[in-house]
Amino acid sequence: MKPATPAYVRYERPPVVEPLEALLLDSGERLEGEIKYYDYGVVSVVFQLPFSGDWDNLVHLASRWVWDIDFASRAEPLVKARLNQCTDAMIRPYSRWLSEDYFIFHVSEASGNPPAADVIRDHGFEIAQVVRGDRLRLSAGECNEVLHSQISYYANDVTVIGWNAAFLYDSRAGAETAIQLLEYANSQLLEFRHYDELLTEILDRAYALLEQKTGVFARWRLAKSARNLHTTLLDVAELTEHADNAIKFLSDMFAARLYRLAAAKVGVPDYKELVSRKVKTAEDLYNYMVDQFNQSRAFFLEITVVLILLIELYYLFRGKPM
């Protein structure tokens, strides 16, 4: 058995975990839940449902859950009710929330306990359907594309990761690390999606301000905008650092590789690159706005000096000391 999660992965600041009331679906399924509060502003809700059946049942369940049930709309009222009880712990909460759904289908036992290679060989098409949430059998090419994103540690475990779902064939203890890292990768995706939207709004406002009149006195307004822009950049840098450093891989390169694969599949590097480019653009705008303000201030000082000299010359030629 792979060692338990704490031996491989630890949080810089572990999330606060609480049990959550069970979610009852219209089909009668009862999902047990828990809620996690991360210090970088993300709330994670985990619903679990024990399952027993054959591969066809699992494919049908995956398709129904992925496409037919809106878990985000069901989880949001529960989260809001909890957050209303801890408003003192929140700093500048947002009225509009972003959300991400992710499904993990964990098979801990299979008939005959076959090795992972046999499971992939004999049931690769069903696994691809589960990861895609598709009821129809996928093409061989699409199946290979899905199964390309797999990772194993022992001969009797495998994790297949997709952009919105993952399939785990592992023991309960062995799957703990993968589940934790998939959850963390999705929390990071939410963080960078938020930064992307925030920076887009800030850059739009900055561009609109720069498109206005650019007279000497109009440039004085840039000082406040530049200061607000710089404050936002500092906030983004601080929160990004919190998100990036929230989890540590102590001694296991497998956990690090699993996280990189999970992050790549859900889109964390893509959004992180977008945020980095927009931060660079915002920094360039900040420097430009500061330069414009400095030019206006220098011009004002020059005008002031000229006026003082003119006043002195006026009194000098009139023969009256100032």
Q: What tens digit of pLDDT does each residue of 22-81 get?
A: 998 888 889 999 999 988 888 999 999 998 999 999 999 999 988 888 898 889 999 999
One domain for residues 201 and 164? no
pLDDT at 322 over 70: no
Report the C-alpha gap between 311 and 322 in whole angstroms.
9
Distances (CA, A) of 231 to 185, 193, 282: 27, 19, 11
In three-state secondary structure terms, 269 is: helix
Q: What was the pLDDT predicted at 4?
A: 41
Query: Which residue, 179, 208, 229, sits at the end of a domain?
Result: 179
Spatial contact of 250 and 176, defined as CB atoms under 8 Å apart: no
Q: What is the structure's pLDDT at 319?
A: 62
Residues 53 and 187 in one domain: no
Query: Both 165 and 228 in a single domain?
Result: no
User: 107: which strand partners?
Assistant: 169
The tokens describing 246, both together, are 């929230």
Do 111 and 220 lie in one domain? The reply is no
The answer to whether residues 305 and 227 belong to one domain is yes
Shared domain check, 141 and 60? yes
Q: How far apart are CA 228 and CA 230, in angstroms?
A: 5
Please tell me the predicted confidence (pLDDT) of residue 211.
Answer: 72
**Last residue in a domain, options 164, 179, 194:** 179
CA distances in angstroms from 105 to 74, 154, 294, listed in the order given: 20, 19, 59
Q: Do 175 and 37 share a structural domain?
A: yes
> How far is it, in rounded angstroms, from Cα 133 to Cα 115?
24
Question: Quick one: 113 and 141 in the same domain?
Answer: yes
- If phi over 0 gives left and psi between -120 and 50 gives alpha, with beta otherwise, what is residue 12? alpha
- What residues contact residue 178 under an 8 Å CB cut-off, 6+ apart? 159, 166, 168, 170, 258, 262
Question: How many structural domains does the chain have?
Answer: 2
Instruction: Check: CB of residue 116 under 8 Å from CB of residue 156.
Output: yes
More confident residue, 220 or 69: 69
Same domain membership, residue 189 and residue 134? no
Judge if 247 and 175 occupy the same domain.
no
Given this model, what pLDDT does residue 191 score?
A: 86
What does the radius of gyration of the chain's CA atoms come to, in whole angstroms? Answer: 28
Whether 108 and 220 share a structural domain: no
Q: What count of other Cβ atoms lies within 10 Å of the Cβ of residue 250?
A: 10
Structure tokens, 252: 């296991």
Last residue of a domain, one of 153, 179, 205: 179
Pairing of strands 247-249, 9-11: antiparallel
Same domain (yes/no): 21, 153: yes
pLDDT tens, position by position, 243-283 = 666 666 655 688 888 989 999 999 998 988 888 888 888 88
Our measurement of the distance from residue 207's CA atom to the centroid of its chain's CA atoms, rounded to an integer in Å, reads 26
Best mean pLDDT range from 138-142, 177-181, 247-251, 293-297: 138-142
pTM value is 0.81
Domain that holds residue 175: 5-179
Please report, for the chain, how many H helices and E strands are present, in that order: 8, 9
Q: Are 268 and 258 in contact (CB under 8 A)?
A: no
Average pLDDT over residues 224-231: 71
